[in-house]
Amino acid sequence: MEAGCGRPKTKGRHRCAWHYLLTQPIEVQERQAQLRLARVPEEQHRARVPEREWPDGERWCAGCQSFVPLFYARGSRCRACASRATHRGAVERKYLWPPGMDYDRLLALQGGRCAICRCTPRTRRLAVDHDHQSGYVRGLLCSASEGASCNKGLLGSAHDSVDILLSAVMYLVRPPSGADGQVPSDDEGASGPEPASPFGDVPPF
């Protein structure tokens, strides 16, 4: 049993399923909440359940139509449903979404991964990235807490400049020191001849 929980441990783990779920990324917890909801036929959905009907140590969550342990509850909902409602409301108010698009549709479109480096978030949701000129959301990117930062560390540091980002790619493909490790000759100087662009007619910057 999980210490202080009274629930059996999950096979192969040293904690119950609910305590294990608490250690997972919030997107994983939200997916599990959606699975709980999908198991309840829509005609059986209930807006509320009287407290007298709650099992000991549990409460009702209308978001996933499930009873959840009290330690996994936040207010009147489970942690996943409460976090989801707060987050979705905030991003919908703050950002301009293309017609027919929202956070959940975009997250599914990206397979739950950062649109650039393809990492899966572990501690925080993917950040909403938007075009600072049009205001429209472009995609969902990882943040600094994931050990990478495509949102601010990559695009932010480059000031959303395509020229800077292409120049960075050219730097990695053909560094000034010579990709083969050869030292430039004296007549070429430190900069050497202008490298050929890996982008065809796009000039080096």
Domains belonging to the chain, first-starting first, are 1-94 (no CATH), 95-154 (3.40.1800.10), 161-205 (no CATH)
Residue 187 confidence (pLDDT) = 54
Give 164-197 pLDDT, tens digit per residue: 888 888 887 887 777 555 555 555 444 445 544 4
Tokens in use for 1? 């049993």
Residue 72 confidence (pLDDT) = 96
Residue 197 confidence (pLDDT) = 45
Sign of CA pseudo-dihedral 147, 25, 81, 142 = positive
Give per-10-residue mean pLDDT for the chain (205 aa): 65 83 87 94 94 95 96 94 94 92 92 88 84 89 72 83 87 73 51 47 42
The Cα 202–Cα 194 span in angstroms is 13
Residue 21 confidence (pLDDT) = 92
Q: State the pTM of this model.
A: 0.64
Give 148-169 pLDDT, tens digit per residue: 688 888 888 888 888 888 888 8
Residue 190 confidence (pLDDT) = 45
Q: Write the CA distances from 45 to 65, 73, 150, integer angstroms.
A: 7, 19, 40
